[in-house]
Amino acid sequence: MAKGYLYIIAAAVFWGIIGPVSRLAFDQGVTPLEVAFWRALLAWVCFGSHAVLTRQVRVQRRDLPKLLVFSVTGVTLFYGSYQLAVNQGGAALAAVLLYTAPAWVTILSRIFFKEPVTLVKFLALVMTIAGVAGISFGAASPSTIVGRQLDVGAYVFGLTAGFCYALYYIFGKHFSGRYNSPTIFLYILPLGALLLLPWVTFAHKTLAAWSALAVIAFFSTYLAYAFYYVGLRRLEPSRAAITATLEPVIAAGVAYFWWKEVFTPAGYVGGALILASVVLIIWDGIRRPRPSAVTSAG
């Protein structure tokens, strides 16, 4: 069990550095959508090699349209909106807004799977909304704790990333037990990258830029998922999911020490409310076990 926690923590660390490392790529002249493009394409090389070597490449023809939709939401929109959120609002803000996903899952599960909205889920949903409001009024500029009004795009892109992340659960439940993660990513990553291509402006990249892109693709995408699923084999899903909520905490910590990103007190309270709502929903799920999703976080 101790090893399981270490694997999950390692995954959370790798996911948590996506925002700060992305900012390094931005500083080297790489646009957010180009970062998203290379994340998808380079990670596809890793997942594709894995799928081929383990002979996990076949999918049923009738699932191809659904995989196309998943590639749009889970790669094109998710990767793109998250990078835009990091660029416009900072790594810490983007990571916290990403974890509005459990609230979106509650709503979507009610719509698609008729899952009941328990009192705990409703309370978590209210806490999430209050948390987003707190962050909206408590975001602060780099190197200061004096709040300022951020571009509304930072919140729109952050919440969009959270919504797309929540769809991983919906698609994961649909594909659960039929395909392994390498098979899914083998198909959705290149399609998602291709759909990003019309909006990508390619820039000359320094060694530092390529290094940042490689870290995001290999460590924060491919290796993070690998560690997460090794950890899942040693821990209950609920314990793993709670441990993975270290991701936005790590992102905020790295962003503070590296890029001097901070929140005002209202922002920190808002972030704490969102994370507490995640723990509440997971705790509620312990009593009502659900099939594991194809993928999670980051």
Q: Which residue has the tokens 């948390």?
A: 131
Q: What tens digit of pLDDT does each residue of 75-118 get?
A: 999 999 999 999 998 898 899 999 898 889 888 888 887 878 88
Q: What tens digit of pLDDT does each residue of 140-193 get?
A: 544 433 344 557 888 999 999 999 998 988 887 788 778 888 999 999 999 999
Q: Could you give the maximum distance between any two Cα atoms of the chain, in Å? A: 55
Q: How far apart are CA 136 and CA 270, in angstroms?
A: 8
Q: How far apart are CA 128 and CA 248, in angstroms?
A: 14
Q: What is the DSSP string of 15-82?
A: HHTHHHHHHHHHHTT--HHHHHHHHHHHHHHHHHHHHHHTT-----GGGHHHHHHHHIIIIIIHHHHH
Which stretches of 135-234 are assigned E, i.e. beta strand?
Answer: none
pTM over 0.95: no
